[in-house]
Amino acid sequence: MAIKFLTIEQHQEVLKRLITLARSVEGTRYHPAGPEYTSLMSCFLMHNLSAGEALLYLCNSFKIEWFPSTVGYVIVRSMFETEVTAHYISQSPKDRSRQYIEFEHVLNKRDMEGCIKHRKSKNHQWREAMNLMWRDVWSPKEKDINTKYLAICSNYETVTKKGKRLSFQNWSGKSIRQMAIEVDHEEAYDIFYGELSSFTHVDVRLANKFLRIRPDGLSWSQRSRQFDVGNVFRHAASFLTCFFELFAEQFDVWSKDEVLRCWDVEQKI
């Protein structure tokens, strides 16, 4: 898609058109790869639609001047990660869908082990809370969680050159950057992801969004910079477009031309 330099309002209009396009589809589409892939892609679609609608709602509530751009960046970051994940899974839909879904057993095991560990916390409030959680949440499921974990845990391990077994930190065993490179999103990751992550990790760039340098000294303001508001909606429209193109290819619910026409802000759908 060619880069277009649009106003904030025009990017918002593109986002609205994309959401309208998706909402116009009735019924459920099934992919030959099976129900796991179909359900995941549907969940990713609903997440990105909800994220786009949330951004529009925030802007409608706060208006551009007071739009919470730091929150907007966090939302847009999730849209990028969803889009990269969807592209990565689509390269091997059956196997990677199953890998994505079954990683839940690893997460459950980790959460349960965390509860077990902190039942011995030196802080009496934590001890009490974790013992209650163990009794009501984890103890009744312990056997089932261990059984399911043991059945799949070897799928989420790698072996070092020295023969040491290391567990995956996430479902794919790869970072978002590694997955982005594999799905031809390296440039988007390198240019956009660092800035988007600033607002998730609360680094200095988050604080600087509120800093104002004046002749009489420093001050802090929650008033949004138009550049940041524009960035949020530009990213949201771009990431949603890329995901929609993939969804169109996989499920044949709309054409890529219909997606791209959403960017023609001079033409109505």
Which candidate, 72, 73, 71, 22, places its Cα nearest to that of 46?
22
Residues 59 and 168 in one domain: no
Confidence label for 2 from pLDDT (cuts 50, 70 and 90)? very low
**How many residues in the chain?**
269
Same domain flag for 200 and 87: yes
Using the structure block, give the residue that is written with the tokens 């949201």. 236
Question: Do 100 and 82 share a structural domain?
Answer: no
Residue 237: count of CB within 10 angstroms of its CB: 27
Q: Is pLDDT of 161 > 60?
A: yes
Given this model, what pLDDT does residue 253 score?
A: 92
* Confidence band, pLDDT 50/70/90 cuts, at residue 268: low
Task: At 190, list the tokens.
Answer: 């390198």
Last residue of a domain, one of 144, 166, 182: 182
- Domain boundary at 147, 182, 217, which? 182
CA separation for the pair 116, 109 (Å, rounded): 11
Q: Please, which pLDDT band fits residue 16 given cuts at 50, 70 and 90?
A: very high
* Mean pLDDT (whole number) for 186-196: 94
Looking at 159, 182, 205, which one is the last position of a domain?
Answer: 182
The string of pLDDT tens digits covering residues 121-131 is: 999 999 999 99
More confident residue, 269 or 231: 231
Residues 70 and 32 grouped into a single domain = yes
The CA distance from 138 to 72, in Å, is 35
Considering the domain architecture, whether residues 84 and 153 belong to the same structural domain is answered as no
Are 103 and 174 spatial neighbours (Cβ–Cβ below 8 Å)?
no
d(Cα 195, Cα 198) in Å, to the nearest integer? 5
Q: What is the mean pLDDT of the chain?
A: 93
Q: How many structural domains is the chain composed of?
A: 2
Answer yes or no: do 5 and 59 share one domain.
yes
What confidence score (pLDDT) does residue 160 get? 82
- Judgement on whether residues 79 and 99 belong to the same structural domain of the protein: no
Residues 6+ apart with CB under 8 A from 172: 88, 96, 99, 100, 179
Based on the fold, state whether residues 107 and 173 are members of the same structural domain: yes
Angle at 143 (CA atoms; ends 95, 39), nearest 5 degrees: 30
The DSSP bridge pattern shows strands 211-214 and 157-159 to be unpaired
Structure confidence by residue, pLDDT tens digits, 35-47: 999 999 999 999 9
Digit-coded pLDDT (tens) for 77-110? 999 999 999 999 999 999 999 999 999 999 999 9
Quick check: 141 and 131 in contact, CB under 8 A? no
Q: How far apart are CA 192 and CA 177, in angstroms?
A: 11
98's tokens: 């199953």
**pLDDT score of 1 more than 80:** no
Segments forming the whole domain that contains residue 125:
93-182
Least confident of 32-36, 169-173, 181-185, 208-212: 208-212
Do 155 and 266 sit in the same domain of this protein? Answer: no
Residue 125 and residue 166 in one domain? yes
Mean pLDDT of 252-261: 93
